[in-house]
Structure 1
Amino acid sequence: MLRVLYWLARTKEAVEPNLKSLLSGKLTFSEFQRNVVEELRTPVLYTKVFSGDAMAPTLNDGVPPGQAGEKVVIRRLVSPSERTVFLDDIVVCRDPTDDRRNYVRRVIAMPGEEMVSDDPRDIPFSIPAGHCWVVCDNDKAVEAADSRKFGPLSFDLIHGRVLYSIRSPTNFTRIVNSKNAMRRDHIILAVEQSLLGEL
C-alpha cells in the first residue's frame, strides 16, 4: 500500500507544475512528457553537508567552527507552497540575496500571519501570499542570515525539507518537522529507505 501512495504522491508532484506550464503554452506536450518522466526517475531524497552553527542544537551542535558539519537527508520539494511546506518544518532554502548560498532554516510563520517585534519601533506586518518566515534555531549564531535580515522568503526559494541528520553511519537522528510533513515524508522514507542504507 505504501508503494501505491508513494507513486500517487510522486505522480501528482511531477504532473501538477508541468501541467500548468503545458496549459499556459510554456511547454509542448513532448516537453511535458519528458519532464514528468524525468521527475519520476529522480529520487526524492538526497544528502548534503551543511556547516555552521545557525541551526544548533538541532544540527551541527558542538561542531567546531571551520569543520564540515553534519550530513543531512533532504526530501526534495518539487513545487513548494503552503500545501507542501508547513509551520515548524526545517527547510533547505536559497538565499534571496545571493543564489549561490543555501541555508537550513526553520519555518515559523506562514502567509497571512502577523509578525510583531519586541522592538516598539518596528511596525507589525503580515506575511504576504506565497511567502513564509524562516529563522535560525541558534539566536547566537554569528553572521547567520534568516528572514530577520532578508524578510519574508518566497516558497519558490525552498528546495526541500530536512528529514535526518547523520553524524556517522551509526549515529543519525530523525528531524522533527510538522505533523503534516512527518506523515507525508514517512511514505517517501519507507519506499526510498534503500538510499538511506547507502549513506
Structure 2
Amino acid sequence: MLRVLYWLARTREAVEPNLRGLFSGKLTFSEFQQNVVEELRRPALYTKVFSGDAMSPTINEGVPPGQAGEKVVIRRLISPSERTVFLDDIVVCRDPTDDRRNYVRRVIAMPGEEMISDDPRDIPFSIPAGHCWVVRDNDKAIDAADSRKFGPLSFDLIHGRVLYSIRSPTNFTRIVNSKNAMRRDHIILAVEQSLLGD
C-alpha cells in the first residue's frame, strides 16, 4: 500500500506542472509525456553538504567556520507553490541575486501575510503572490543572506525541503517542518530512504 501511495504522490507531482504547460500550449503531448517519464525516473530525495552557521542550531550546530557542514537529505519540489511549501518549512533555495549560491532557510511568511518590522522607520508590506519570506535560524550569523536582505523569495527559486541533517552514519536528526510537509514527505521518505546510501 505504501508503494501505491508513493507512486500516486510522485505521479501527481510530475503531471501537474507539465499539464499546465500542455494546456497553455508551451508543451506538445510528446514533450509532456517525456517530461513526466523523466521526472518519475529521478529520485525525489537527494543529499547535499551545506556549510555555514546560518541555520544553527537546526543544521551545522558547532561546525567551525570554513569547515564542511552537515549533509542534509532534501526532497525535491518539482513545482514549488503555496500547495507544496508551507509556513515553518526549512527549504533549499537559490539566491535571487546570485544563481550560483544556494541557501537553507526557514519559511516564516506566505503570500498575503503582512510584514511589520520592530523598526518604526520600516513601512509594513504584504508578501506578494507567488512569494514567501525566508530567514536564517541563527540571528548571530548577520552576514548570511535571507529575505531581510533580498526581499520576498519567489517560489520558483525553491528547490526542495530539508528532511534530515546527517552528522555521521549514527548521528542524524529528522528536521521538523510543517505538519502538512511532514505528512507528505513521510511516504517519499519511507520508500526512498534506502536509496540514499552514504
8 Å CA contact 2:46, 2:196 repeated in 1: no
Task: Report the Cα distance in structure 2 between the residues aligned to 1:196 and 1:171, rounded to whole angstroms.
Answer: 16
Instruction: Compare 98-107 and 1-10 and name the one that shifted more.
Output: 1-10
Question: TM-score when scaled to structure 2?
Answer: 0.98
CA contact (8 A) 2:47 2:196 kept: no
Supply the distance in 1 between the matched residues of 2:188 and 2:73 (Cα, whole angstroms): 12
What's the CA shift string for 1:79-108, capped at 9, x where partnerless?
Answer: 000000000000000000110000000000
Q: Which deviates more from structure 2 when the two are superposed, residues 121-130 or residues 22-31?
A: 22-31
User: What is the correspondence of 1:1-199 to structure 2 with a 5 Å cutoff?
Assistant: 1-198=1-198
| Aligned length in residues | 198
Q: Deviations over 1:35-86 (max 9, x none)?
A: 0000001000000000000000000010000000000000000000000000
Q: Shift of the alpha carbon at 1:142?
A: 4.0
Secondary structure at the aligned position of 1:30 is classed as helix
- For residues 150 and 83 of structure 1, what CA distance do their matches in structure 2 show? 23
Task: Provide the TM-score with structure 1 as the length reference.
Answer: 0.98
Q: What SS does the aligned partner of 1:53 have?
A: coil
Partners of 2:86 and 2:42 lie apart in 1 by 23
Query: Unaligned stretches of 5+ in structure 1?
Result: none
Kindly, what percent of the aligned residue pairs are identical? 92
Name the Cα RMSD after superposition: 0.8
The secondary structure found in structure 2 opposite 1:197 is coil
CA distance in 2, matches of 1:70, 1:176: 16
What are the Cα deviations for residues 129-187 of structure 1, in whole angstroms up to 9, with x where unaligned?
A: 11000000000104100000000000000000000000001111000000000000000
Unaligned residue ranges in structure 2 (runs of 5+): none
User: C-alpha distance in 2, partners of 1:182/1:73?
Assistant: 14
SS at match of 2:189: helix
